[in-house]
């Protein structure tokens, strides 16, 4: 997978660095893992090979079969002397109790909570500022980023109703920048500064151009939001967007409709029914404008679609944890990665094409009933809160 930013791509990377403070870097390899089954198989294999440290950061970690399998794999490595650090969002992983975590802590693993749910903090705005990132770093050499949480709901090998999702497995210099992000988040949550040369092994330059895109309420620039919109505005041929929650900003809506009005192949892939009815109704309230502009809208039918990815033209990909909504762009701590690479883009095209083949295309002349039209309009009023 080779790719060097063209002049337009270079401008997008400059924007990402100016807003997110992460430089352009590279990967020696990127594997796209379409689904929780592929993600957990690859993750557990990588965990079993860990020699020095395992850093994990998750929004949701469930105490179910999948969660227990991951916990036990971490405990085995911690018992063998590997440093294991697990950072969990206190709201997303609220079902985890001390009894579930005890096997980890008894063998020396460290567990920390992001914005703990204490009474004195519940009434503060921090309750609404969640860590939505899904990040794993092993020995400073391999990393996982994407949308798949830890739980049976994300594992189609255990549940036919599991979310359809997308994850990335990466190697190369990008891992050091993802490590930097974990170190910053750990320091914020725990107050401890992680140090040691073992965290930063020397990595060779790779052929895949990439850039880490962190975003959150700690920066006013909304890096992921700006990169999404800028990439769409620079598009020359197509824009394919996959998101489980579509509650666009004015800028995002304008970028999509303007591209379609310019004659580009613009497609939006969303679930037929999200895990929140209000979000589903709010998303549909935007369909009529998109359809009039020429955007093709697909609703994924088999199960909940949770993939978060943007494909622009034949070379630009953004994938990670961020949804296309106000919460991801402005409130949550999110993590996506920007790539410029034709082979990776082609592979994502195959995945999205397969998902669209299992979707219902919304007709351009859709006519919701008066009751449903009112329901959608009412849900749209809640958009800034969703």
Question: Of 372, 273, 286, 364, which Cα lies nearest the Cα of 324?
Answer: 286
- Per-residue DSSP letter, 243: -
**Among residues 89, 152, 313, 355, which one is catalytic?**
313
The count of residues in the chain is 386
Backbone angles phi, psi at 8, to 5 degrees: -70, -45
CATH superfamily of 29-204: Endonuclease Chain A (3.30.870.10)
Backbone angles phi, psi at 150, to 5 degrees: -95, 110
Which tokens in the block code for residue 362? 């919304």
326 is annotated as an active-site residue: no
pLDDT tens readout for residues 243-290 = 999 999 999 999 999 999 999 999 999 999 888 888 889 899 999 999
**Burial (0-12, 13-18, 19+ Cβ within 10 Å), 193:** exposed
Per-residue model confidence (pLDDT) at position 2: 40
Helices and strands of the chain, counted as H and E runs: 13, 18
- Interhelix angle for 65-79 vs 98-105, to 10°? 30
Over residues 325-350, the mean pLDDT reads: 96
Taking the C-alpha atoms of residue 124 and residue 10, their distance in angstroms, rounded to an integer, is 40
Backbone angles phi, psi at 344, to 5 degrees: -65, -40
pLDDT tens readout for residues 26-42 = 999 999 999 999 999 99
Per-residue model confidence (pLDDT) at position 126: 61
Taking the C-alpha atoms of residue 59 and residue 151, their distance in angstroms, rounded to an integer, is 11
pLDDT of 384 > 80? The answer is no
313 is annotated as an active-site residue: yes
308 is annotated as an active-site residue: yes
**Among residues 55, 115, 169, 306, which one is catalytic?**
306
153 is annotated as an active-site residue: no
- When computed from its CA atoms, the radius of gyration of the chain, rounded to whole angstroms, is 20
| Residue 178, number of CB atoms within 10 A of its CB | 26
**Among residues 39, 53, 55, 134, which one is catalytic?**
134
Taking the C-alpha atoms of residue 107 and residue 101, their distance in angstroms, rounded to an integer, is 11
Q: Do the domains at 29-204 and 223-385 have one common CATH topology?
A: yes
- Average pLDDT over all residues of the chain: 93
**Among residues 53, 55, 132, 167, which one is catalytic?**
132
pLDDT tens readout for residues 91-106 = 999 999 999 999 999 9
Per-residue model confidence (pLDDT) at position 279: 85
53 is annotated as an active-site residue: no
**Among residues 39, 167, 225, 308, which one is catalytic?**
308
| pLDDT band at residue 367 using 50, 70 and 90 as cut-offs | confident
Pairing of strands 167-171, 29-33: antiparallel
Per-residue model confidence (pLDDT) at position 118: 66
| pLDDT band at residue 116 using 50, 70 and 90 as cut-offs | confident
Which tokens in the block code for residue 367? 């006519």
CATH of domain 223-385: 3.30.870.10
Per-residue model confidence (pLDDT) at position 127: 66
Taking the C-alpha atoms of residue 18 and residue 12, their distance in angstroms, rounded to an integer, is 10
- The domain segmentation of the chain, as residue ranges, is 29-204, 223-385
139 is annotated as an active-site residue: yes
**Among residues 53, 55, 89, 139, which one is catalytic?**
139
């Amino acid at each position: 997978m080779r790719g060097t930013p063209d002049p337009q791509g270079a401008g997008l990377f400059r924007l990402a660095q100016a807003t997110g403070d992460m430089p352009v870097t590279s990967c020696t390899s990127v594997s796209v893992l379409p689904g929780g089954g592929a993600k957990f198989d690859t993750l557990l294999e990588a965990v079993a090979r860990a020699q020095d440290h395992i850093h994990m950061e998750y929004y949701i970690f469930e105490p179910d079969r999948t969660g227990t399998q991951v916990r036990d794999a971490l405990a085995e490595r911690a018992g063998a002397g590997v440093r294991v650090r697990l950072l969990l969002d206190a709201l997303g992983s609220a079902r985890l109790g001390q009894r579930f975590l005890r096997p980890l802590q008894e063998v020396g693993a460290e567990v920390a909570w992001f914005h703990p749910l204490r009474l004195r903090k519940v009434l503060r705005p921090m309750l609404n500022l969640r860590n939505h990132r899904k990040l794993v770093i092993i020995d400073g050499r391999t990393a996982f980023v994407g949308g798949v949480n830890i739980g049976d709901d994300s594992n189609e090998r255990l549940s036919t109703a599991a979310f359809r999702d997308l994850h990335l497995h990466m190697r190369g210099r990008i891992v050091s920048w993802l490590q930097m992000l974990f170190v910053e988040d750990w320091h914020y949550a725990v107050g401890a500064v992680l140090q040691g040369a073992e965290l930063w092994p020397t990595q060779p330059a790779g052929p895949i151009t990439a850039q880490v895109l962190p975003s959150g309420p700690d920066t006013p620039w909304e890096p992921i939001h700006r990169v999404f919109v800028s990439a769409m505005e620079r598009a020359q041929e197509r824009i394919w967007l996959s998101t489980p929650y579509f509650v666009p900003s004015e800028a995002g809506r304008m970028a999509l409709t303007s591209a379609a009005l310019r004659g580009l192949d613009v497609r939006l892939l969303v679930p037929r029914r999200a895990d929140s009815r209000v979000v589903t109704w709010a998303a549909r309230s935007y369909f009529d404008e998109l359809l009039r502009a020429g955007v093709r809208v697909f609703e994924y039918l088999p199960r909940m679609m949770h993939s978060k990815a943007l494909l622009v033209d034949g070379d630009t990909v953004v994938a990670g944890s961020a949804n296309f909504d106000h919460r991801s762009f402005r409130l949550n701590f999110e993590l996506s990665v920007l790539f410029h690479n034709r082979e990776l883009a082609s592979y994502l095209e195959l995945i999205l094409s397969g998902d669209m083949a299992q979707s219902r295309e919304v007709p351009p002349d859709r006519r919701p009933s008066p009751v449903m039209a009112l329901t959608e309009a009412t849900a749209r009023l809640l958009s800034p809160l969703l």
